Amino acid sequence: MNSFDPHAARTGQALRATACPCCSAAVSRSIYRVASVPVHSCVLLNTAEEAQAFPRRELDLAFCEACGFIFNRAFDEGVMIYSTNFEESQHFSSTFNNFAKELAHEIARKCEIAGKRVLEIGCGKGEFLRELCLSGNATGLGIDPGYRADKGRNEDYNHIEFIVDFFGPQYRNLEADTILCRHTLEHISSVAAFVRLIREMVGKRTEDWIFFETPDAKRVLAESAFWDIYYEHCSYFSAGAHARLFRQEGFDVTDLELVYDKQYIVQYARPSKGRSVPRLPLERDLEEMHHLAETFPIRVRASKHRWLERIRSAHAADRRVVLWGGGSKAVSFLTTLKIGDEVSAAVDINPYKQGKFTPGSGHPVIAPTDLVDNPPDLVIVMNPIYRSEVVQSLDALGLRPEVVSV
């Protein structure tokens, strides 16, 4: 979630030159455009009518040839209104929980947080910060405008505090031994200013650890994964672009890797006195990013066509189609393809999403048990890493539909 308040393109399509939010180079190539997408995909909406009338904006991705950064040049920060009426948590999945616990233990060990203070910018509902502080015996502070104290999933832990607000210059005097920021940078339009503010917070403290986790845009381009492109994500990083930004803003990137089936970038950094020298293997990706950006417009058109034909064919054959996953990927998939009755519903194990409707398309979000009375013939899993978990859930319900992953 965005926690910062800074006060169908053709290949090589030209656009009005604009400055790259990372490196300030002039950018003049658009690689992907969708005329109308919902401005939020994790908001909880109570009726199909409310969901279908939800505000939309244009999405137009530009590629910086100088640093490999990708951003929505049509992004309107003024429409991004985050509140406690958002539900982005993945912690109801055992697959995700196992990953999160392993990652928390790794951070606690690498950053040696025992007896120290951790600040998480963009903490969501606080599940990960609690896991980290409990496993590492640390105190914590989380900042997020969407934080909500829900009974049963984020019980009180005396050593953690929360600020329900955007992170911004008003918090530059906060001190922490480790600063954590997971799945937030992609929501920030002024990415260099955001990282620069964190560097100002650290100041002369040279032993602080900075940990970031961000979706990998190189995978999105390579897989033509249009369902991973949505309005809230105004900034898209490859591992190399990510590290280049942090080195530019006064950090030394010490570790850089791809995790969670290579979907996420994990980066550890410490403050440096000047711009540090790239030395990690994943930083050398600029040539590959150029090639992927060049071919993306053609490949993504083919991907959209294949999925649309598959769903329409299933619907024409009276096969009931559902998506598994009612979050951002499903919203992007449905609205980008302009899918209506061809898909019956989106299934989600998150109880806070059940009974709600997907922004833009207005599809109902249902619980897995709702499938028993009206079994699906085709289940499209919106993240392949959950396929095994989904099949197990369907088996437990006595259901044997065709299961495919995006």
Residues 301, 8 contacting (CB under 8 angstroms): yes
The residue ranges of DSSP E strands in 89-168, in sequence order, are 117-121, 139-143, 160-163
User: How confident is the model over 9-30, as a mean pLDDT?
Assistant: 77
Convert the pLDDT of each residue in 276-315 to its tens digit: 999 999 999 999 999 999 999 999 999 999 999 999 999 9
Structure tokens at 156: 């009180």
Structure tokens at 237: 């990083």
pLDDT at 12 over 70: no
Torsion of CA 103, 109, 111, 117, to 10 degrees: 90
**Interstrand relation of 402-405 and 378-381 (parallel, antiparallel or unpaired):** parallel
Lowest average pLDDT, out of 36-45, 222-231, 249-258, 359-368, goes to 36-45
Instruction: Give the per-residue pLDDT at 58.
Output: 97
Contacts of 376 (CB under 8 A, 6+ apart): 320, 321, 322, 344, 399, 401
Lowest average pLDDT, out of 153-157, 190-194, 300-304, goes to 153-157
227: left (phi over 0), alpha (psi -120 to 50) or beta: alpha
Cα separations in angstroms, 391 against 97, 322, 380, 399, 403 = 18, 14, 11, 9, 8
Cα separations in angstroms, 312 against 305, 334, 338, 375 = 11, 13, 11, 18
pTM for the whole thing? 0.92
Structure tokens at 21: 């939010």
Residues 227, 336 contacting (CB under 8 angstroms): yes
How far is residue 277's CA from residue 176's CA, in Å, rounded to a whole number?
A: 26
Instruction: Give the per-residue pLDDT at 197.
Output: 96
Task: Catalogue all structural domains in the chain, each as residue range(s) with its CATH number.
Answer: 94-287 (3.40.50.150), 318-405 (3.40.50.720)
